[in-house]
Chain A
Amino acid sequence: MFAFLVRRVFAGVIMLIVMSLVVFGLFFASPVDVAAFACGKNCSPAIKEQTRKALGYDDPTLVQWKDFMVGIAKGREYPNDPELREAAPQLVASCDAPCFGYSQVNSRTVNEEISKAFPITVSLAVVALIIWLTVGIALGCIAALTKGSFLDRGLVGISLVFYAFPTFFIGLLLLKFVSIKWGLWDIPEYTSIADGGVGAWLYNLILPSVTLAVVFMAAYVRMTRAFVLEAMSEDYIRTAHSKGLSRGRVLRKHTLRAALTPLVTMAGLDFAGLLGGAIITEYVFNFNGLGKLAVDANQNYDLPTIIGLVVLAASFVILMNIIVDVLYAVIDPRVRLG
């Protein structure tokens, strides 16, 4: 187990380093002159170069990447210019390790940006996960247990319809009709538990979480149904039935345990993907999570934020992969980590 973890973590770190380098390369290969964009109109070439310096883009790409990696390992101070930091210490923004950089676009460190956006994304992802797993697995089991019935066909058909809906469509539908036109639900505005308590937190998360969950839920109904049916056809299930175990006990203790294994993998990866930002849902509902932060960063050519979010999102996926692999072994006794 330990050797497995060390190997996976090491591979993950290498992957993150390569990804960060690729993002740097892609960013500076873009035909858009970021300094001109930030400098605005009436910008002389000399002022544009000063702007480039202020943004920290005046060094060669590899030097900037190296500084970024140093920041991850040791932390950094901004502005980049040591002479300026010494002359005017009031300007200095300290960024502790692991420092993802300083966003001139948002006038704060990327770590601060992420720390503000992360709880919103996590809240959204967790509530959505609970909705889609609970409803998706329950309906999938019902469909499997009533295979061939009207109910089964109805559930499968409806899930197919929801699966075909784009997330933005569902989000806009809920926002425009449920909130604005019919006034059934206030327009959601993220409220933290500290600010509004659990009730307000959950109330404001319901519509975006449902938006996010619907598509996943539809997929999980179909997959749960398929996995449960597959497990139900196994010999050991027949054996369990022949030993006289109740149908519910067979389902809980044997069928679901086998069927859940692949679902856990998928749920883990889906959840990890959402932790990197539920871009469309956050954008539609104006939730300032990691997804919206990523969109804004792209629109504003905000490299430090882009790179920080890429590394963070990739870290989540790698981490969840490792956790899922470990969970595999826990859920399914046939799996061993080697």
Chain B
Amino acid sequence: MASKKKRMLAVTAGALLASTVLAACGSGDDDKKSEGAGETGGTLYFNVEKPIDHWDPQRTYVGTDISKQSRLVYRELVTFGTSEDAVESAKPLPDLATDTGTASDGGKVWQFTLRDGVKWEDGSDITCEDLKYGLSRNFATDVIVGGPAFYILSYLDIPADADGTPQYKGPYTKKGQDLFDKAVTCDGKTITYNFNKPWPDFNLAIAALHFASPYRAEKDQGDKSNYSVFSSGPYKLEGTWEKESGGTFVRNPEYDKATDDTDSRNALPDKIVFKMGTKLETTYDAILANKGDAACTVSDNRLPPSKFSEIPNVQDRYQNPDSPYADYLWFNTKKLPLEVRQALAMATNREGWIAAGGGERAYTPAYSVVNPAVAGYKEVPTYKDIPLAGDPDAAKKILDEAGIKTPYKIEIRYPQSETADKQAAALKDTWDKAGFTVTLSPEGDVYYSNIQKPDHNYDVGWAGWGADWPSPMTVLPPLFDSRANIQGGSLGQDYGKYEGKAFNDKITEAQNATDLDTQITLLQEADQILADDMVYMPLEIAKFNWVTGKNVDFHTTPGSNSFPDLGLIGLRNGGC
């Protein structure tokens, strides 16, 4: 049941890597961590319960998968480092490029220059044309699906068709190729991107997401290439990738460490074997028992709460960082009066919600829908002032003063799971005390389809989100800008049907800001508008619980995503 919630999270939170996690993401258990440097060599096993959807860089939109690709096989113009410190980890580092890029024309033009000596696994040079071709694939939206193309499609300076899609249709049909060739140009090793509006943090975006990854044109077979890997990193795929069972990565002799200034690719194990499909419980039963290969196994599936009791026995290989997600409640702004929303927020029992979900190992309270790891994060005072256990008396007072008749019927919707049922029950407890009559209405797989329907009549619902890159621009507008969300018979992610002119105007201002500081200030103001209108109530930041086999050297997670990082992990004690 818990896995269903995780799946929902994965769907909504999508690009996890992009979310940066501040220094707070450290577990606070530093004194208990192994500080081993890790040994070079050996075979590391990496278990993943659900198959990886894509190895195609332009189609990858799940943070942990982006992280694996970055560390193993795909180098980018810029990338994130492995620092546990969120501020450091949110800084783009030159990777394939000689620097972190040069912006001009108020952030509407970006230039990068490829460094010398960077090669594909067949020994050929990575060229500017490869970068350009990789970007062009995003525009073939009838072939390259599932990726984060949304951003580049809306930013690149290409005229749009009547349906809003760019007139360039990708490298397969080549319709509108001349438009693309004008928007993205190559001059030797220098690539220039021309945008239709300022994109002051474009380099952050391409460090976090792989939509601008280089791609060798002759290797492209569209969907047939989805599980092909043509490496530019320290490893390459041995044989083929089998979606159900996985694959093995071995060292790529064409990768030259001298061309890589980052600390992101220590490439310690000689071989990394991915095993797909092993059940979460089976993986952790074996890891905790240290049987056979499990002693050299790591997984990016979280330790289930049912096994938290084992943690004291494995402190030397345990990490508990904050995730890059934030979970929140949305309120139906078209149905519930402001005072009702405020009363619900005031009586929201975050403490009970967290306890029911596994306690402090599983969650930490949230004071904004923006994760603390995101640059420019600021606690919203409105949410900070609400007691963690909720204040039913104060909530009742809000209702009484507004003349709202009680008991007031409220129905809360959420994706069903055993844990979510308990958490929702904790909310009901204090809401009922405040004068509401609460009905719990869990839903199955149709939850997200239903809450995106413009005619839904739900009162309150649960949702989760993670930033695509370390900017509130990838949190607040995607969730609450009605202009971007409510269209084409869908609410998008604006599940509460919020249409706030002041908020939208603030977002427009932020979008047109030519520098990051101004943009962040405007977005902080926008978040306060949301709080004043009580559009959402932040609940918690989920925490990761990682345990590895006893021979895995695992002493930190990067602030950029908090997942076990294959650029850092090595083996110890001679491996397996």
Contact = CB atoms under 8 A, between A and B. Distances in A.
A197 interface: no
B286 A187 contact: yes
A91 B222 contact: yes
Contact of B220 (A39, A83, A90): A90
Nearest to A93: B224
A79 B493 contact: no
A292 B222 contact: no
A47 B449 contact: no
B215 to A, nearest CB: 13
Given A31-B449, A104-B145, A88 B173 contact: yes
Contact of A40 (B11, B220, B244, B452): B11
A101 B449 CA distance: 26
Contacts of A296: 51, 244
B496 interface: no
Interface stretch (A5-13, A175-183, A248-256, A327-335): A175-183
Nearest to A282: B277
Given A32-B449, A36-B452, A91-B224, A292 B487 contact: no
B289 A180 contact: yes
Nearest to B147: A40
Interface string A68-107: 0000000000110101100110110100000000001011
A197 B227 CA distance: 28
A123 to B, nearest CB: 15
B106 interface: no
Nearest to A108: B224
Given A41-B14, A107-B227, A180-B285, A87 B150 contact: no
Contacts of B448: 36
Interface in A223-268: none
Given A54-B143, A81-B142, A288-B245, A90 B150 contact: no
Q: Dominant SS at the A interface?
A: helix
Contacts of B244: 116, 288, 292-293, 296
Interface in B446-494: 446, 448-450, 452, 468, 478, 487-490, 493
Contacts of A79: 142-143, 222-223
B398 interface: no
A81 B172 CA distance: 12
B12 A41 contact: yes
A45 interface: yes
B148 interface: yes
A298 B512 CA distance: 44
B149 interface: yes
Contacts of A91: 143, 172, 221-224
A44 B223 contact: no
B53 to A, nearest CB: 8
4 closest Cβ pairs, A-B complex: A45-B488, A91-B222, A88-B172, A107-B226
Interface of A: 31-33, 36-51, 53-55, 78-79, 81, 83-84, 87-88, 90-91, 93, 104, 106-108, 116, 175-176, 179-181, 183, 186-187, 284, 286, 288, 292-293, 296
Given A88-B222, A286-B282, 8 more contacts: A40-B146, A43-B150, A51-B142, A54-B143, A91-B222, A93-B224, A183-B291, A292-B277
